[in-house]
A and B are shown apart, each in its own frame.
Chain A
Amino acid sequence: MTWLTPWSAFWLLLALVPILLALYILRLRRARQLVPCTSLWTEAAEDVQANTPFQRLRRNLLLLLQLIALLLIALAIAQPRIEAAAGRGERTVLLVDCSASMQAYDGGGGRTRFEAAADAAMGVVDRLHPGGWFSDEGGQTMIVSLGAGADIVQPFTGSRSVLRAAIGRLEPQDTTAELGDGLNMARAWASEPNPDEPRALSEPARIEVFTDGGLIDLDDVATRDNPIMVHLVGEGTAANRTVQSVAAERSAEDPDAVQVFASLWNWTIEPRDERVQMSLDGGAVHIEDVRLPAGRLDEDGAITPGRRDMVFTPATRPDAVLVEVRLIGDDIFPLDDVAWTVVPARESVRVMLAAGTDSMMARAIRAVPGVTLQEFSDDVSSSDVLVLDRVDVSILPDAPTLSIDTTLPSSMVSWNQRRGAESMAIGDFRHPVLRGGSPIDLWVGQPQGVAIDASVRAVLRGENGPLVLAWEEAGHRRVHIAFDPARSSWPWDPTFMSFLVDTLDWLAWRSGGETAGNGVAGGSVAVRLPEGVEQAVAISIRNDLQPLRGRSGGRAAWGPVTTAGPWLVRWDTPQRGHSVVAVQLPAAIEGDLSRPEQLMIGGEAVDNGASLGRSVPLWPWAIGASLLVLMIEWAVFTRRIA
């Protein structure tokens, strides 16, 4: 019960109760009346004779009733409100946070935060829809899960059993969650719950959020006019340590060797001794005891974790391999104690070079690890990448192409006269081919003049036009260097080789046969299926099944993926086979499991969970009760004087 104006009632009682009592204590100032004989009046008067202005306060039913009426009026002025079941026509949306952090085991009583939130949601459903003779079944409640997206688990209904069953169907996800999606969905549904039965809506739906405060968009959400109540779950005091990230790649010098990197974070302010295990394809290959440095407690109370980056001894694995890094031992949040990644199998890129073998580009390509240089032939499909080094062709090759200082018959690029020498370049470092960096002080002699369509990206741009182009045309990726590298300073720049490696990787991607891959929970995961595979199934470590259907190019995708960890993609036809995809936790999920005391949504503090259901004002009842008491008092009074 809450009181809106308790002090008003206090001052009212403080002022009126003494006055009321004084009216009974102080003797009434009566009109004097001379009568022949007062003895005739004595017994009926029931008054006492006293010469003092006060009289003893006697038990008086009228005084008691008047005090009760006064108290009830004061109660009404205090404006008490209670939380009660939803009234007829009221709508409530329950948003349940199903994100990864809700799987921490600090929900109380050995429960996870998610289980605690589900229990709290059950409790709210029970209060909103109590059932029984005196309940108001007019309220409508909707349940929305917040995970990889906002999903309506149960549209508006007034059935408690249906709502409880819907809550029972909720499952935690290894993803982040955004409140904004849920609010937008709740508002959309609450504004018109049933298009077939439009009705006037007088009040916005009440929204109750069950979360640990880990929703990632709280600063960007506007509460608008929807009353929002938050039920914070989790104790938020438990220590945690995480395998924050794991990465693995093949060595450039030895593609058979797999190099594994891991970053371990300690979210406590004490150093921790931990045992780390690195496994390849499920077999432990490295176990090491490490000390994680202590985290640092900032002035605002937040913890900056202590970090320990590990580089494991390279292991030889020419085939695709699933890498797992795990912290041995239990803590309250096991989900982030392990991380996986998949290293694709070593596979050489077949490069067909149309140029002299003793050219500068030939020597450079030959230096790229994992590249098999082929002699030029008419069967370009036998190669993964066709390199045209200053060789003009009459038709656009049916293969990924790296063209150098030549004129491709492209419909998306037109060729103009050469430009003058340029000494400056701006790279689009977001493009994969410049992942290793772009040259800064580049001198280029007589680059080609080109005009490009909007779909062609100028990966490297000089003073007067594009220098390196990347686009897709006729089903293949194309990269064009609009100048002769031999007549530029780029080969002497370290970024040239990284450009070459990244370009060959990027070009070979579409034509490559790699089936293993990585993904992030909450997003879609794509996998390339072998030629001829039309149907497959993806199985998570929690035995989630996801049927896949091969699409053009052999790619299959599913999502949003809500379970982190390795997924086994299996197919039976035309030949039985499988591949592995590692789905990692989103980087936005931090190991800081601290829980805010009060949730801030859009910069505004939101009431925390103390209030359930609708807020019902009690002052009309108090006024009604006071009137009833006054009527009783009047009846008693008239009965006395009658």
Chain B
Amino acid sequence: MPSFGVDQLPPPKTIEDLLGPALLAAMDSLELTSRKVLAGRLHGDRRSKRRGFSIDFADHRPYVAGDDLRYVDWNVYARLDALFLKLYLDEEDLSVLLVLDGSPSMDWGDPSKWTYARRLAMAIGSISLASRHRVSIASFSGDGVAQLRDLRGRGRTAELGHWLLDREIGSPAAGDELGNALRILAPTRRGRGVAIVLSDFLGGEDPLPALRVLGGGGDDLHCLQVLAPQEIDPGGQGMTGDVRLEDAEYGGPREVTVTPALLRAYRARLDARVQLVRDAAHGCGGTHLAVGSDTDIESLLLGQLKSGGMVQ
């Protein structure tokens, strides 16, 4: 099994490798949404908690000196002989944070989880930029956290793509690298928004404390757990016989004889791990979706993510 779990395709070199023309066309009609109505920093295309100047009527208030006369409701003045201003829901930008797991465990699978996560981040980021959201993206590993902040507008898509292409798998972390990374990223956020974590969530212990850093702060949290097909069904993907398993990160070697019983036990433990991540995400008010790295991203966006309310 020398090629088991090794990506047979070369890593992406260009933005087109990350985001193909077909996927780009499919994304034109998509928009990243938040299940929560959050306050933004700049005017945008997204409804804000604030009363603003969008087309959606919200309320009336008495005119006070200094108000813009363009928003006086003259129909009300005609009937009531009093000046009222029409208040509209303001449309603000949305803060989107994409967090990529760059630990060595992501650099595994056919297709590679790392490549898939980058492609998915590119897709979501592109949608967000097209929606004039403010996009920040970060990658964490044992080497630390790398971040690209406050991208806005379609024109920053290429910058996002180059940043993703430049990212490399880091070294393994000794502790809770996800928690550490999120605790670093949380203070840097400008307002609350949507936080999307793309990871295999295989390292560390219970991810709940780490996810609470984001979910507990009011962000709309989405956990996309990327798993390779060889992880989901190693027996069906060809793992057999006596093997010496070596951990991609910090785990010690394990010598096993792959048997149906062992595969069943492994699958049970994997399912338990996925359930643990799901529970953690739900515990933070977020969503969780386990995604195979061989899942078509267009289908994912138009299917599971759209039905889950993440995009529309």
Chain B residues near A30 (CB-CB < 8 A): 242-244, 255
Indicate with 1 or 0, residue by residue over B98-123, a CB within 8 angstroms of chain A CB atoms.
00000001101100010000000000
Q: Beta-carbon contacts of B258-282 to A below 8 Å, as 1s and 0s?
A: 0111100110011001000000000
The answer to whether residues A34 and B246 also contact, given A45-B262, A640-B259 and a CB cut-off of 8 A, is yes
Taking CB atoms and an 8 Å cut-off, the chain A residues in 25-42 that contact chain B are 27-28, 30-42
Closest Cβ neighbor of B243 among chain A residues: A33
B140-184 interface (Cβ within 8 A of A) = none
Which residues of A sit under 8 angstroms from B243, Cβ to Cβ?
30-33
Query: Measured between C-beta atoms, what is the minimum distance from A159 to chain B in Å?
Result: 60
A36 to B228, CA, bound (A): 10
Q: Name the one of A27, A36, A642 contacting B261, with C-beta atoms under 8 angstroms.
A: A642
Q: How far is the CA of A42 from the CA of B269 in the complex (A)?
A: 10
Query: Per-residue CB proximity of A45-57 to B under 8 Å, as 1/0?
Result: 1010100000000
CA distance A33 to B253 in the complex (A): 9
Q: How far is the CA of A640 from the CA of B252 in the complex (A)?
A: 25
Query: Could you tell me the distance in whole angstroms from the C-beta of A500 to the nearest C-beta in chain B?
Result: 113
Q: In whole Å, how far is B72's beta carbon from the nearest beta carbon of chain A?
A: 63
Report the separation of the CA atoms of residues A31 and B244 in the bound assembly, to the nearest whole angstrom: 6
Q: Which residues of B contact A330 (CB under 8 A)?
A: none
Q: Which residue of B lies closest to A37 (CB)?
A: B202
| Pair B244/A36 contact, Cβ less than 8 Å | no
Contact partner, A641, options B113, B246, B261, Cβ 8 Å:
B261
* Shortest Cβ distance from A49 into B: residue: B252
Look across to chain B and name the residue whose beta carbon is closest to the beta carbon of A45: B256
**How many Å lie between the Cα of A339 and that of B252 in the bound state?**
102
Q: Check B73 for interface membership: any CB of A closer than 8 A.
A: no
Please state if A39 and B251 are interface contacts (CB–CB under 8 Å).
Answer: yes
**One of A27, A35, A42, A45 near B246 (C-beta < 8 A):** A35
Q: Which of chain A's residues have a CB closer than 8 A to the CB of B251?
A: 37-39
CA distance A30 to B270 in the complex (A): 24
Contact of B247 among A28, A38, A43, A641 (CB under 8 A): A38
Whether B83 sits at the interface, judged by CB under 8 Å, is no
A41–B247 CA distance with the chains assembled, in angstroms: 10
CB contacts (< 8 Å) of B244 on chain A: these are: 30-33
- Interface members, chain A 611-642 (any B CB < 8 Å): 640-642
Across-interface contacts of A31 in B (CB, < 8 A): 1-2, 241-244
Complex: A28 Cα to B243 Cα, angstroms = 9
Give the distance in Å from the alpha carbon of A641 to the alpha carbon of B257 in the complex: 9
CA distance A31 to B245 in the complex (A): 8
Q: Please, which residue of chain A has its CB at the minimum distance from the CB of B242? A: A30
Whether the pair B255, A45 counts as a contact (CB closer than 8 A) is yes
Q: Please pick, from B4, B203, B242, B256, the residue contacting A37 in the complex, using a CB distance under 8 A.
A: B203
Q: Are A28 and B242 closer than 8 Å at their CB atoms?
A: yes
Given A27-B255, A33-B1, A38 and B265 touching (CB < 8 A)?
Answer: no
Q: Which residues of B contact A34 (CB under 8 A)?
A: 5, 108, 245-246, 248
A30 to B251, CA, bound (A): 18
B7 at the interface (CB under 8 A from A): no
Size of the chain A interface, CB-CB below 8 angstroms: 23
Chain A, residue nearest B269 (CB): A40
CB of B13 closer than 8 Å to a CB of A: no
- Min CB distance, A47 to chain B, in Å? 4
Whether B79 is near chain A, meaning CB under 8 Å from some CB there, is no
B200 within 8 A of A: yes
A27 contact set on B, CB distance < 8 A = 255
Total count of chain B residues near the partner, CB < 8 A: 40
Closest chain A residue, CB of each to CB of B2: A31
- Once the chains bind, are A35 and B245 in contact (CB under 8 Å)? yes
Asked if residues B257 and A33 are in contact (CB atoms below 8 Å), the reply is: no
- Within the complex, the shortest CB–CB distance from A534 to chain B, in Å, comes to 102
Chain A's closest residue to B107 (CB) is A36
* A605 contacts chain B at the CB level, 8 A cutoff: no
Would B259 and A37 count as touching, CB distance under 8 A?
Answer: no
B74 to chain A, nearest CB (A): 66
Q: How far is the CB of B1 from chain A (nearest CB, A)?
A: 6
The smallest beta-carbon distance between B222 and chain A, in angstroms, is 21
Interchain nearest-CB distance for A10 vs B (Å) = 33
Q: Within the assembled complex, what's the spacing in Å between the Cα atoms of A404 and B124? A: 159
Evaluate contact between A32 and B246: CB separation under 8 angstroms. Answer: yes
- B297 close to chain A: CB less than 8 A: no
CB of A588 within 8 Å of the partner chain: no
Asked if B242 and A43 sit within 8 Å, CB to CB, the answer is no
A47 to B252, CA, bound (A): 12
Contact A35 B108 (CB under 8 A): yes
User: Is A610 in the interface zone, CB < 8 Å from B?
Assistant: no
B70: interface (CB < 8 Å): no
Partner of A43, one of B248, B249, B269: B269
**Minimum distance in angstroms from B113 CB to a CB of chain A:** 8
Provide the residues of chain A in CB contact with B206, threshold 8 Å: none
User: Which residues of A sit under 8 angstroms from B241, Cβ to Cβ?
Assistant: 31
> Would you give the shortest CB distance from A635 to chain B, in whole angstroms?
15
The residue in chain B whose Cβ has the minimal distance to the Cβ of A41 is B254
- In the bound complex, do residue A37 and residue B260 qualify as a contact, i.e. CB atoms below 8 Å apart? no
Whether B108 and A41, one on each chain, are in contact in the complex, defined by CB atoms closer than 8 angstroms, is: no
- In the complex, chain A residues whose CB is within 8 Å of the CB of B255: 27-28, 30, 45, 47, 49
B231 adjacent to chain A (CB < 8 Å): yes
Cβ contact of A35, chosen from B106, B242, B248, cutoff 8 A: B248
Whether, in the assembled complex, B302 has its beta carbon less than 8 Å from a beta carbon of chain A, the answer is no
Q: What's the minimum C-beta distance from A247 to chain B, rounded to whole angstroms?
A: 97
| Minimum C-beta distance from B5 to chain A (A) | 7
Closest residue to B253 on the A side, CB-wise? A49
Which residues in B have their C-beta under 8 angstroms from that of A47?
A: 254-257
B239 contacts A by Cβ under 8 Å: yes
Contacts of A32 in B (CB 8 A): 243-244, 246
What residues make up the interface of B, taking CB atoms closer than 8 Å to A? 1-2, 4-5, 105-106, 108-109, 113, 200, 202-203, 228, 231, 239, 241-249, 251-257, 259-262, 265-266, 269-270, 273
- A and B contact pairs by CB, cutoff 8 A, 11 listed: A31-B1, A31-B244, A36-B106, A37-B202, A37-B247, A38-B247, A38-B251, A39-B251, A41-B262, A640-B259, A641-B259
15 other A-B residue contacts (CB within 8 Å) besides A34-B246, A44-B269:
A31-B243, A34-B248, A35-B247, A36-B105, A36-B106, A36-B108, A36-B200, A36-B202, A37-B105, A37-B251, A41-B245, A41-B262, A41-B266, A45-B256, A641-B260
The 10 closest A-B pairs by CB, nearest first: A44-B265, A641-B259, A36-B105, A45-B256, A38-B251, A30-B244, A37-B202, A38-B247, A33-B243, A47-B255
